[in-house]
Amino acid sequence: SAALGGKRTYFSGEYEKYSWHNLMSPTITGADRVILYRNALENMSRNPNIPPLFREIFNGATLGFTDSNTLNLFLREIDKIKQSSGDSIGDAYEYLLSTMGSQGKLGQFRTPRHIIDMMVELIDPDKSDKILDPACGTAGFLISAYSWIKKKHIEKERLDSEDIEKIHRNFYGFDIEPNMTRIARVNLFLHGFKSPHIIEHDTLSSEDHWDDRYDVIIANPPFTTPKGGVTPHKKFGITSNRTELLFVDYIASHLKPNGRAAVIVPDGVLFGSSSAHKSLRKEIVENKKLQAVISMPSGVFKPYAGVSTAILVFTNSSNERTDKVWFYDMKIDGYSLDDKRSKLKTSDIPDILARFKNLDGEKDRKRNEQSFFVDKEEIIKKGYDLTINKYKEVEYPIVKYPPTSEIIAEIKKLDREASENLAELEKLLNETNPDL
């Protein structure tokens, strides 16, 4: 029917029983709906009527629960947005992922959206940029980067479908988790990507794609190293089995000339004393242009983790290396820093973006302000330490004390009063009980 201009049918023949109409039929019981839905998931990879991308996504898919009430609630929510536009469905999917994250299902994989959007604006991806997230999770960074480019170009320049397809082909995501790659592909598909470049790939242990280079790399790599460490291949510039170090080294190694990166790291990367820590920081300071270190409060990733983190922003400039580094001490990200993460009226993020976009105006700031520059030479002298507190100056209020003679006189006065009070107490005791 699609060839004749009709609506394409994805559920026909033996797959018709899995259609949305049948799945949502009021005559089907809760238990039967669970069975039908499970069978649909397990058989969709063989359905020749659906796009190849979705056959791949459904390959090996299973239903992870058996509660009919949960399934009914989920399907009803999906039914509400089924007729929405592509952008609305994509936004709804993003919301679903954030909800799953808030319930702890995907929490360890998700970066708060406002932090993602800030990093994307800092790095300012363009329509011709080849963009990578080497630990993409649900593809949050890629979606945000695409939204940024849409706002800059697609909506203003009225790009045609061929131009938009070229932009889509520039987005790449790697993840070691099969379920994450499935989620990421669906996420991008629902945002208009026909064939998302989301690859199930062990970025640290596999040499596949090692020779590829990118204009923009943006990521929040895993903070925790698996028990026993990872086994990286031999092409890394550092010797380590710690994932957070290896990912930063990977990112630094895979930028094109003049490529730029923004990456979230745990604070240990900034000050760690091992040879791998120091070598990595030296590489970024000496052989890249480290532009910014943005320190974030420890509650940013609550309730999943309370670890303190920072954002490194650097470029692989062809003719520039690090001269001085801009530090910013983020105190408020717009949400409370407890487990509830309630929205606040104030946030440092607009200030961070405004200052970063006008770094010339930052040159005269003092070390006791919220942001300031540090010269490369000073960073080298301090072992390439990139912790903001290593350079921040704290002003303590000046307390004025009276002259020493007055203090001594006051002490003598208090001493006399204490002696007089003690003598008075002894007198009272002797009068009331002479035998003591």
- In this predicted structure, what is the pLDDT of residue 378? 97
Distance CA 259, CA 217 (A): 8
Distance CA 403, CA 430 (A): 41
Contacts by 235-241 with C-beta closer than 8 Å and gap 24+?
A: 235/207, 235/210, 237/279, 237/280, 237/283, 238/276, 238/279, 238/280, 238/283, 239/275, 239/276, 240/274, 240/276
Question: Which amino acid belongs to residue 273?
Answer: S
Between the CA atoms of 61, 65, 70 and 74, what dihedral angle is there, to the nearest 10 degrees? -10
Which stretch of 97-106, 116-125, 156-165, 293-302 has the lowest confidence by average pLDDT? 97-106
Tell me the CATH number of domain 103-390, given options 2.30.40.10, 3.30.70.1280, 1.25.40.10, 3.40.50.150.
Answer: 3.40.50.150
Q: pLDDT confidence of 105, banded at 50, 70, 90?
A: very low
Q: 372 vs 149, 265, 281, 325, 391, CA distance in Å? A: 30, 20, 19, 8, 9
- In this predicted structure, what is the pLDDT of residue 96? 56
pLDDT beyond 60 at 86:
no
pLDDT beyond 60 at 87:
no
Question: Contact 133/219 with Cβ under 8 angstroms?
Answer: yes
- In this predicted structure, what is the pLDDT of residue 196? 92
pLDDT beyond 50 at 262:
yes
Q: Which tens digits make up the pLDDT trace of 34-62?
A: 899 888 888 888 888 887 777 877 777 77
Q: Which tens digits make up the pLDDT trace of 248-261?
A: 999 999 999 999 99
Distance CA 305, CA 299 (A): 8
* Burial class, 334, CB count within 10 angstroms (exposed 0-12 / middle 13-18 / buried 19+): middle
The β-bridge partners of 363 are: none
Question: Which amino acid belongs to residue 123?
Answer: I
* Vertex 50: Cα angle to 46 and 53 (nearest 5): 85
Percent of the chain with pLDDT over 90: 46
pLDDT beyond 50 at 109:
no
Distance CA 412, CA 401 (A): 17
DSSP 3-state of 29: coil
Record the pTM.
0.78
- In this predicted structure, what is the pLDDT of residue 75? 78
| 124 Rama sector, left if φ>0, alpha if ψ -120 to 50, beta otherwise | left
Q: pLDDT confidence of 6, banded at 50, 70, 90?
A: very low
Percent of the chain with pLDDT over 70: 87
pLDDT beyond 60 at 141:
yes
- In this predicted structure, what is the pLDDT of residue 103? 40
HSE at residue 146, side-chain half, CA atoms within 13 A, is: 28
Q: What is the mean pLDDT of the chain?
A: 85
- In this predicted structure, what is the pLDDT of residue 107? 40
Question: Which amino acid belongs to residue 325?
Answer: V
Q: pLDDT confidence of 106, banded at 50, 70, 90?
A: very low
Q: What is the mean pLDDT of residues 106-133?
A: 87
Tokens of 263: 């990456």
The β-bridge partners of 407 are: none
Cα dihedral across residues 388, 217, 151, 96: positive or negative? negative
Distance CA 292, CA 28 (A): 58
Question: Which amino acid belongs to residue 322?
Answer: T
Q: Which residue has the higher pLDDT, 132 or 78?
A: 132
Question: Which amino acid belongs to residue 182?
Answer: R
Q: Which tens digits make up the pLDDT trace of 209-251?
A: 999 999 999 999 987 776 666 888 889 999 998 999 999 999 9
Q: Which tens digits make up the pLDDT trace of 170-221?
A: 999 999 988 888 888 888 888 889 889 999 999 999 999 999 999 999 999 9
Q: Which tens digits make up the pLDDT trace of 386-431?
A: 999 999 987 777 778 888 888 898 899 898 888 888 888 888 877 7
